[in-house]
Amino acid sequence: MASRTLKVVSGSADAPRIAFVAPRYGEAVVGGSEAVVREAAHGLAARGYRVDVLTTCAEDHYTWANELPAGVTADGEVIVRRFSIFKARDQVRWEVLQRRLMSGEQLDDGEELAWSNGRFRVPDLYLYLAGHADEYAAIVF
């Protein structure tokens, strides 16, 4: 991948736009990586970048319940785009596959797909990225 230098014009619509994709985001969200994303997003926004955070409506990483409303809000100078979670219907199958993985077993392609979609999915976030990725100078996962 070619390296490029981003020119920042503070407060300008021409400033580079950066997206952070995080499973959960917000002042009330507890977690190390969540805190790093929030600090980095605010730090870049303070330096003149246009920053979006693309995240779910969840606050709790155990239940993954949609506790916050989907849509666009602002966290200071950071734009937050929240997307609803759709929980999997077959939680038991996911748990079986998870135990197999944790014991060191390999899954076949179909099982891998079932495992990766087995807890929840966020299809609107995926579709947003597919349709808007070219609007961002960088997307950070």
- Token look-up 């596959």 returns 97
Asked if residues 49 and 14 have their Cβ atoms less than 8 Å apart, the reply is no
Number of domains in the chain: 1
- On whether residue 54 sits in a domain, the answer given is yes
134: tokens are 């070219």
Say how many residues make up the chain. 141
- On whether residue 41 sits in a domain, the answer given is yes
Range of the domain at 73: 17-87+120-133
% of the chain residues with pLDDT over 90: 70
- On whether residue 26 sits in a domain, the answer given is yes
Q: What is the mean predicted confidence (pLDDT) over 107-136?
A: 92
Q: What is the pLDDT, as a whole number, of residue 1?
A: 47
Instruction: Tell whether pTM > 0.75.
Output: yes
**pLDDT tens string 11-54:** 568 899 999 999 999 988 888 899 999 999 999 999 999 999 99
Helix axis angle, 109-116 to 91-102, nearest 10°: 120
Query: What is the overall mean pLDDT for the chain?
Result: 90
